[in-house]
Amino acid sequence: MNDINIKLNLYFDFGFDYEVTIDKPFEIAIDMDANEKGLTIINEELKKALESGLEYITKTKKFNKRKLKRLEIFMRDKLKVNSAFKNLISSVNFYTNDLNKVYNYIKTSEELNGLNIIIACTNLDDNMILNAKNLFKNRPNVKIITSSNRKEHEIKDLEKTTDIINKIVDEIKMLDLSPIEQIMYSYDIVRNRIYKAEDSGNKWYSSRDLTDVLLGDKIVCEGYANVFNEILTRLGFKASYYCLKNNNNPSNGHIRNMVYIKDDKYNINGVYLFDPTWDSKKSDRDTNFLCSYLFFAKTFLEMKRFDDERSLSSTNIPSFNEELFDVLEEKISSDKLEDLSLDDIKTFNSIAALLNFDERIPTLFSLSKQKDIFLPDALIKKFKANKSALLKYNTLFKKITDNELPAEVLLSVLYNVRKKEYYLNERLYPFSLVNFYITSCLSNWRFNDTKEAMFLKALDCYNVKTMNAKGIKRYNDANLLDKKIEMIKLAKTLRKAYEKKKITG
């Protein structure tokens, strides 16, 4: 095994020739612009770049003397020998979604023969998988990593991954479900796994990487979030991650999902958080997990109450509170973006990214004020924000991030999903009026259909068991839920009898 490992990162349209990073004493990253002529791995420019990198870390005393000495020996002895230098390259990494560009590049670059090739894509759909199989069928050294993976994989394993996801997505599409019904159905599939961290002999990513999770038996919060996110994006949802850190131990954290939902059937238009990890199956004997949606479709403020109790805070939506959008509106309107905190800007921009909006609040002005740095007029003009667009976004964000879903809506969603689930697997999915009441209590769903319920919610005096017993009765009287459930069960029984008769003749 080499003392020094070099990762060669190739970008199409990188913008400049190369950049060298020595973050660790024996891991050197070389970022280069891929060009039509092919790669000349060993050249004087790269040697000089590595030498300047060594000179920099020597001056800054970034590493201890023993490690520096090893670097100096490497630069003196091995860098002079072309073959030795090539052998130190652990991988050549292409950052692009265009697999044809990669294929043409490596086909004309003999210098890459025998090296590990890794292609980093943002996503990998069926067409890309098929293209990858055709292009690289004779190149076993080519692997691919996607945004949902923590490591590179062989194309055959990525094909298995997409097959599993596609099977779930195709099943959901056939059920004629509304958007939030699709999400609940997906949620129930993903959380029907027991949390299981990697063993000491396993790599840390075996419980997080999308492919490893789907093909293995390990799964932790990031694994749940990756599977859920992959299903939702394949269904066409705007979905992303909501990342958290432990305030008492920043090295520990948590991750859940953030989804934009537009569902006209239920008059839903908002951004909601989902935590399939915290709602997941707890053991093989756990029969209650499907009666709890405590962390399903929560607003930022609803979920923040749970997070505060656990000393968790978001890293990508760091400053969400009831006054946030009023503060943003005032600063944007008065052209005082420099007065915004970086956390406020990050929160706004993360929501904009989720919705695929182009306009962002630039961080430049806030940073310049904090660091007391003078900005020339040309720079101010270049990064000037689109004021009208930001105000428009801000108004929308305020509207779609504060829409708590009441029990009567969530019960309707649950009924429409559960009748499909029950029909497909009656043993797994509980389906009765009593189960619906239990679910409303365990999930802390609150009715909003009477003045009493609204008043007690406002005072935070809503007793879930008492109020939901009344609420379920009202809901059942209005929607005949018990009778609808019995009709579904009767249809299921008749169907089973018919199938049995067909088999026996």
pLDDT category at 477 given cuts 50, 70, 90 is: very high
Q: What are phi and psi of 257, to 5 degrees?
A: -115, 150
Average pLDDT over residues 243-253: 92
Beginning with the edge strand found earlier in the chain, give each strand of the sheet holding 89-95 in spatial order.
18-24, 27-34, 5-12, 89-95, 117-120, 142-145
Q: What is the DSSP letter of 129?
A: H
Would the pLDDT of 17 be above 60? no
Average pLDDT over residues 433-444: 96
Higher-confidence residue of 323 and 450: namely 323
Q: Where are the alpha helices (DSSP H) in 206-291?
A: 210-215, 221-234
Residue 38, pLDDT score: 47
Average pLDDT over residues 460-475: 90
Residue 42, pLDDT score: 47
Higher-confidence residue of 33 and 258: namely 258
Q: What is the pLDDT of residues 407-427, one digit of tens each?
A: 999 999 999 999 999 999 999
Most confident of 45-54, 81-90, 166-175: 166-175
Residue 14, pLDDT score: 59
Q: Round to whole Å and give the CA distance between 384 and 118.
A: 38
Would the pLDDT of 374 be above 50? yes
Assessment of whether the complete model's pTM goes beyond 0.85: yes
Residue with tokens 């043993």: 427
Residue 400, pLDDT score: 97
CB 343 within 8 A of CB 318: yes
- Name the β-bridge partners of 261: 270
pLDDT category at 479 given cuts 50, 70, 90 is: very high
> Percent of the chain beyond pLDDT 90?
60
How many other C-beta atoms can be found within 10 angstroms of the C-beta atom of residue 482? 15
Most confident of 46-60, 85-99, 162-176: 162-176
CB 474 within 8 A of CB 488: no
What lies within 8 Å, CB to CB, of 366 at 6+ separation is: 337, 338, 339, 340, 341, 342, 345
**Domain range list for the chain:** 5-120, 162-400, 407-504
pLDDT category at 84 given cuts 50, 70, 90 is: low
Higher-confidence residue of 304 and 74: namely 304
Would the pLDDT of 133 be above 90? yes
Q: What is the DSSP letter of 375?
A: -
Q: Round to whole Å and give the CA distance between 301 and 313.
A: 12
Residue 273, pLDDT score: 98
What lies within 8 Å, CB to CB, of 8 at 6+ separation is: 30, 32, 39, 41, 89, 91, 92, 93
Average pLDDT over residues 382-406: 94
**Secondary structure of residue 173 in the 3-state scheme:** helix
Q: What is the pLDDT of residues 136-174, one digit of tens each?
A: 988 889 999 998 898 999 999 999 999 999 999 999 999
How much is the mean pLDDT over the chain? Answer: 86
